[in-house]
Homo-oligomer: A and B are copies of this chain.
C-alpha cells in the first residue's frame, strides 16, 4: 500500500499548476491570478483545473506552502554547512534574499490580502514559517554568543526580529519600486552594518571612536 516513488501524473499536473500560479502572481499579483490565466499558462482548459484542485483557494494555498517549504529547506542547508555561526547567519540572510529575488511571486503573495485576510489556512502556514525561521536564527545567535563572536548583552529574539525586519524593509522597497534594483547587493550593505552592531567590540574598533 506504499505510495509509489514515481509521481503520479496528477501530481505532476498539480505541480505544474502551482508553478504557473507562482509565475503569474509574480507578474500580475494575486489579483491577476485568475483561473483562466492559470489554465492558459499551463495549457489546459479552465474546467480541468477543478479536476486537480478543489478550488482556487487550494491552488493558492499549495503555492504558499511550496514557498514555505523551499525557504525552510534553504535554512536547513545553511545550518548544515560547516562554518561558524556568524557566517551561517550571513549566508542565511543572503540566500533568503537571493531566493526572493528569483521569485517575485513571493513578495506579491506576502503583501497580498489573500495572505493577510482571505485565506486563513495560508495565513496560519505563513506565520508558522516565520516562527520556525526566527527560531533557527535565534539558535545561531545563541551559538555565536557561546563562541564569543556575538555580544552577550542583546536579546536573541529581538535580533532575529531585526534580521527578518531587514529582509522585509528591503523587499518592501524592492516591490514598491517595481523590482528595479538588485536585492542581494542592497542586502550586503545592511548585513555589513548589522554584523558590526552585534559583534563583540574589539579594542581596535574602540580606538577609532
Q: Which of A14-22, A86-94, A122-130 contacts B (4 or more CB under 8 A)?
A: A122-130
* Structural contact, A153 and B112, CB atoms closer than 8 A: no
* Structural contact, B29 and A176, CB atoms closer than 8 A: no
Q: Which of A43-51, A63-71, A73-81, A198-206 contacts B (4 or more CB under 8 A)?
A: A198-206
* Structural contact, B154 and A196, CB atoms closer than 8 A: yes
Query: In the complex the two chains form, what is the Cα distance from A209 to B130 in whole Å?
Result: 30
With contacts A116-B176, A127-B173, A158-B190 known, is A152 near B209, CB below 8 A?
Answer: yes
Query: In the complex the two chains form, what is the Cα distance from A60 to B154 in whole Å?
Result: 41
B residues less than 8 Å from A110 (CB atoms) = 111
B-contact bits for A153-174, CB 8 A (1 contact / 0 none): 1110111011011111110110
The main secondary structure of chain A at its interface with chain B is helix
CB distance from A95 to the nearest CB of B (A): 18
CB distance from A79 to the nearest CB of B (A): 21
B residues less than 8 Å from A153 (CB atoms) = 196, 205, 208-209
A-B interface, 6 closest residue pairs, ranked by CB to CB distance from nearest: A165-B165, A165-B169, A158-B193, A197-B197, A168-B168, A29-B117
Q: Could you name 18 residue pairs across A and B whose Cβ atoms are closer than 8 Å?
A: A28-B117, A29-B117, A30-B113, A111-B112, A126-B176, A127-B173, A127-B177, A130-B176, A151-B209, A153-B208, A155-B192, A158-B189, A158-B190, A158-B193, A162-B165, A162-B190, A165-B166, A197-B198
